[in-house]
Homo-oligomer: A and B are copies of this chain.
Amino acid sequence: MLNLSIHSIQFTIEIVATFAFALSGLIAGIRKRMDVVGLCIVSGVSAFGGGTLRDMLLDRRPFFWVSHSLWLWGLIATCLFAMFFMRERHIGLTEKAIQIPDALGLGLFTALGTQIALELGMPAIVAALMGMMTAVFGGVLRDICCNEIPKAFSDHQPYAVLAFLGSWLLIGLTALNLPEGLILFLSASFTTILRVLAIQLKWQLPSQRIIKP
Protein backbone atom coordinates (compact mmCIF):
# COMPACT_ATOMS: atom_id res chain seq x y z
CA MET A 1 0.00 0.00 0.00
CA LEU A 2 2.74 2.40 1.07
CA ASN A 3 4.90 1.03 -1.73
CA LEU A 4 2.10 1.67 -4.20
CA SER A 5 1.76 5.29 -3.18
CA ILE A 6 5.53 5.80 -3.37
CA HIS A 7 5.41 4.48 -6.90
CA SER A 8 2.59 6.82 -7.81
CA ILE A 9 4.51 9.77 -6.38
CA GLN A 10 7.56 8.78 -8.42
CA PHE A 11 5.43 8.34 -11.52
CA THR A 12 3.76 11.72 -11.02
CA ILE A 13 7.14 13.43 -10.65
CA GLU A 14 8.36 11.72 -13.82
CA ILE A 15 5.38 13.01 -15.81
CA VAL A 16 5.56 16.53 -14.41
CA ALA A 17 9.33 16.76 -14.86
CA THR A 18 9.31 15.36 -18.41
CA PHE A 19 6.63 17.90 -19.19
CA ALA A 20 8.82 20.66 -17.74
CA PHE A 21 11.79 19.52 -19.83
CA ALA A 22 9.59 19.45 -22.96
CA LEU A 23 8.33 22.98 -22.21
CA SER A 24 11.91 24.25 -21.89
CA GLY A 25 12.49 22.97 -25.43
CA LEU A 26 9.26 24.48 -26.65
CA ILE A 27 10.21 27.90 -25.28
CA ALA A 28 13.70 27.66 -26.76
CA GLY A 29 12.17 26.77 -30.14
CA ILE A 30 9.65 29.61 -30.00
CA ARG A 31 12.45 32.06 -29.20
CA LYS A 32 14.23 30.91 -32.37
CA ARG A 33 10.95 31.30 -34.34
CA MET A 34 10.88 27.62 -35.28
CA ASP A 35 7.94 26.08 -37.10
CA VAL A 36 5.71 23.31 -35.74
CA VAL A 37 8.19 20.60 -36.79
CA GLY A 38 11.07 22.32 -35.03
CA LEU A 39 9.00 22.89 -31.88
CA CYS A 40 7.97 19.22 -31.67
CA ILE A 41 11.47 17.89 -32.31
CA VAL A 42 13.26 20.30 -29.98
CA SER A 43 10.69 19.59 -27.24
CA GLY A 44 11.17 15.87 -27.77
CA VAL A 45 14.95 16.19 -27.69
CA SER A 46 14.74 18.21 -24.46
CA ALA A 47 12.43 15.70 -22.81
CA PHE A 48 13.97 12.42 -23.95
CA GLY A 49 17.44 13.32 -25.28
CA GLY A 50 19.33 12.80 -22.03
CA GLY A 51 17.95 9.33 -21.32
CA THR A 52 18.32 8.34 -24.97
CA LEU A 53 21.97 9.38 -25.11
CA ARG A 54 22.62 7.48 -21.85
CA ASP A 55 20.95 4.37 -23.26
CA MET A 56 22.92 4.61 -26.50
CA LEU A 57 26.18 4.89 -24.56
CA LEU A 58 25.17 1.99 -22.30
CA ASP A 59 23.82 -0.01 -25.32
CA ARG A 60 20.45 -0.33 -23.60
CA ARG A 61 17.19 -0.95 -25.45
CA PRO A 62 14.30 -0.26 -25.75
CA PHE A 63 14.39 3.49 -25.20
CA PHE A 64 11.82 4.98 -22.86
CA TRP A 65 9.89 6.61 -25.71
CA VAL A 66 9.78 3.30 -27.61
CA SER A 67 8.32 1.25 -24.75
CA HIS A 68 6.09 4.16 -23.67
CA SER A 69 5.28 5.55 -27.10
CA LEU A 70 2.08 7.15 -25.80
CA TRP A 71 4.30 9.92 -24.41
CA LEU A 72 5.20 10.96 -27.96
CA TRP A 73 1.52 11.67 -28.61
CA GLY A 74 1.42 13.76 -25.44
CA LEU A 75 4.42 15.68 -26.65
CA ILE A 76 2.89 16.42 -30.06
CA ALA A 77 -0.39 17.45 -28.41
CA THR A 78 1.47 19.80 -26.04
CA CYS A 79 3.32 21.47 -28.90
CA LEU A 80 0.19 21.92 -31.02
CA PHE A 81 -1.69 23.29 -28.02
CA ALA A 82 1.15 25.71 -27.24
CA MET A 83 1.32 26.83 -30.84
CA PHE A 84 -2.29 27.93 -30.88
CA PHE A 85 -2.72 29.23 -27.35
CA MET A 86 0.64 30.51 -26.17
CA ARG A 87 1.01 34.28 -26.10
CA GLU A 88 4.17 36.30 -25.55
CA ARG A 89 3.30 37.09 -21.94
CA HIS A 90 2.96 33.33 -21.28
CA ILE A 91 6.57 32.60 -22.13
CA GLY A 92 8.13 34.31 -19.12
CA LEU A 93 5.46 32.85 -16.85
CA THR A 94 6.05 29.34 -18.21
CA GLU A 95 9.77 29.72 -17.71
CA LYS A 96 9.22 30.64 -14.10
CA ALA A 97 6.60 27.94 -13.55
CA ILE A 98 8.84 25.12 -14.77
CA GLN A 99 11.73 25.91 -12.42
CA ILE A 100 10.42 23.69 -9.61
CA PRO A 101 9.32 20.72 -11.79
CA ASP A 102 12.65 21.04 -13.58
CA ALA A 103 14.47 20.82 -10.23
CA LEU A 104 12.38 17.75 -9.34
CA GLY A 105 13.33 16.19 -12.67
CA LEU A 106 16.99 17.04 -12.15
CA GLY A 107 16.95 15.11 -8.87
CA LEU A 108 14.85 12.15 -9.95
CA PHE A 109 16.32 11.50 -13.40
CA THR A 110 19.86 11.84 -12.07
CA ALA A 111 19.15 9.25 -9.37
CA LEU A 112 17.39 6.88 -11.79
CA GLY A 113 20.14 7.21 -14.40
CA THR A 114 22.86 6.53 -11.85
CA GLN A 115 21.02 3.44 -10.60
CA ILE A 116 20.67 2.09 -14.14
CA ALA A 117 24.39 2.50 -14.78
CA LEU A 118 25.33 0.90 -11.44
CA GLU A 119 23.10 -2.09 -12.20
CA LEU A 120 24.96 -2.55 -15.48
CA GLY A 121 28.21 -2.74 -13.50
CA MET A 122 29.66 0.61 -14.52
CA PRO A 123 32.46 2.07 -12.36
CA ALA A 124 31.30 4.75 -9.91
CA ILE A 125 32.61 7.76 -11.86
CA VAL A 126 30.95 6.49 -15.05
CA ALA A 127 27.67 5.91 -13.19
CA ALA A 128 27.82 9.47 -11.81
CA LEU A 129 28.47 10.79 -15.32
CA MET A 130 25.54 8.77 -16.72
CA GLY A 131 23.23 10.03 -13.97
CA MET A 132 24.19 13.62 -14.65
CA MET A 133 23.87 13.06 -18.41
CA THR A 134 20.35 11.64 -18.04
CA ALA A 135 19.08 14.80 -16.43
CA VAL A 136 21.24 17.41 -18.15
CA PHE A 137 21.98 16.35 -21.75
CA GLY A 138 18.43 16.79 -23.02
CA GLY A 139 19.04 20.49 -22.45
CA VAL A 140 22.50 20.29 -24.02
CA LEU A 141 21.11 18.71 -27.20
CA ARG A 142 18.26 21.26 -27.16
CA ASP A 143 20.76 24.14 -27.15
CA ILE A 144 22.85 22.52 -29.92
CA CYS A 145 19.69 22.21 -32.07
CA CYS A 146 18.98 25.88 -31.34
CA ASN A 147 22.52 26.86 -32.37
CA GLU A 148 23.50 28.09 -28.90
CA ILE A 149 26.36 27.22 -26.58
CA PRO A 150 24.73 24.82 -24.10
CA LYS A 151 23.47 26.76 -21.09
CA ALA A 152 24.56 23.90 -18.83
CA PHE A 153 28.17 24.62 -19.89
CA SER A 154 28.18 28.37 -19.76
CA ASP A 155 25.56 30.01 -17.56
CA HIS A 156 27.68 29.68 -14.40
CA GLN A 157 24.70 28.45 -12.38
CA PRO A 158 24.98 25.20 -10.44
CA TYR A 159 22.94 22.61 -12.35
CA ALA A 160 24.95 19.70 -13.74
CA VAL A 161 27.29 19.95 -10.77
CA LEU A 162 24.39 19.37 -8.35
CA ALA A 163 23.29 16.36 -10.40
CA PHE A 164 26.86 15.08 -10.14
CA LEU A 165 26.79 15.48 -6.35
CA GLY A 166 23.42 13.74 -6.17
CA SER A 167 24.82 10.84 -8.19
CA TRP A 168 27.66 10.43 -5.72
CA LEU A 169 25.25 10.48 -2.80
CA LEU A 170 23.31 7.66 -4.46
CA ILE A 171 26.51 5.72 -5.11
CA GLY A 172 27.59 6.15 -1.48
CA LEU A 173 24.20 5.09 -0.09
CA THR A 174 24.14 2.08 -2.44
CA ALA A 175 27.49 0.98 -1.00
CA LEU A 176 25.82 1.09 2.45
CA ASN A 177 23.19 -1.41 1.23
CA LEU A 178 20.22 0.75 2.21
CA PRO A 179 16.85 -0.13 0.64
CA GLU A 180 16.68 0.96 -3.01
CA GLY A 181 13.58 3.13 -2.70
CA LEU A 182 15.04 5.05 0.25
CA ILE A 183 18.31 5.63 -1.63
CA LEU A 184 16.42 6.97 -4.63
CA PHE A 185 14.34 9.26 -2.42
CA LEU A 186 17.34 10.63 -0.48
CA SER A 187 19.49 11.25 -3.55
CA ALA A 188 16.67 12.83 -5.59
CA SER A 189 15.58 15.09 -2.70
CA PHE A 190 19.18 16.13 -2.04
CA THR A 191 19.73 17.26 -5.64
CA THR A 192 16.33 18.93 -5.89
CA ILE A 193 16.73 20.85 -2.65
CA LEU A 194 20.22 22.02 -3.61
CA ARG A 195 18.88 23.16 -6.97
CA VAL A 196 16.03 25.09 -5.39
CA LEU A 197 18.48 26.70 -2.95
CA ALA A 198 20.79 27.56 -5.86
CA ILE A 199 17.94 29.33 -7.65
CA GLN A 200 16.69 31.14 -4.54
CA LEU A 201 20.11 32.21 -3.31
CA LYS A 202 21.49 32.87 -6.80
CA TRP A 203 24.57 30.69 -6.28
CA GLN A 204 27.28 31.06 -8.89
CA LEU A 205 29.74 28.46 -10.10
CA PRO A 206 33.43 29.25 -9.88
CA SER A 207 34.86 29.75 -13.34
CA GLN A 208 38.14 30.32 -15.04
CA ARG A 209 38.95 33.94 -14.34
CA ILE A 210 41.27 35.03 -17.09
CA ILE A 211 43.61 37.17 -15.08
CA LYS A 212 46.00 39.46 -16.88
CA PRO A 213 49.56 38.32 -16.19
Chain B residue numbers with a CB within 8 Å of A152 are 37-38
Chain B nearest CB from A170 CB (Å) reads: 17
Quick one: given A37-B160, A89-B213, A149-B147, are A208 and B30 in contact (CB under 8 Å)? yes
Across the interface, which residues of B come within 8 angstroms of A207, CB to CB? Answer: 33-36, 83
Residue A42 is within 8 A (CB to CB) of chain B in the complex? yes
* Binary CB contact string for chain A from 70 to 101 against chain B (1 if under 8 A, 0 otherwise): 00110000000011001111010000000000
Which chain B residues lie closer than 8 Å to A123 at the CB level? 66, 69
Whether A176 sits at the interface, judged by CB under 8 Å, is: no
A146 near B: Cβ within 8 Å? Answer: yes
Residues of B within 8 A of A197 (CB): none
Q: Which of A27-84 contact B (CB under 8 A)?
A: 29-30, 32-39, 41-42, 52, 56-57, 59, 61, 63, 65-66, 69, 72-73, 82-83
Q: How many residues of A contact B (CB 8 A)?
A: 60
Give chain B residues whose Cβ lies under 8 Å from the Cβ of A210.
30, 86-88, 91
The verdict on A144 contacting chain B, using a C-beta distance below 8 Å, is yes
Residue A180, interface by CB 8 Å: no
**Per a CB cutoff under 8 Å, which of B29, B41, B52, B149 touches A146?**
B149
23 examples of A-B residue contacts, CB within 8 angstroms: A32-B153, A33-B154, A33-B208, A34-B207, A35-B207, A36-B207, A36-B208, A38-B149, A65-B126, A66-B126, A69-B124, A69-B125, A83-B207, A87-B210, A87-B212, A88-B211, A88-B212, A88-B213, A89-B213, A91-B210, A144-B144, A144-B145, A147-B147
A-to-B contact residues, CB < 8 Å: 29-30, 32-39, 41-42, 52, 56-57, 59, 61, 63, 65-66, 69, 72-73, 82-83, 86-89, 91, 122-126, 129, 140, 144-150, 152-156, 159-161, 205-208, 210-213
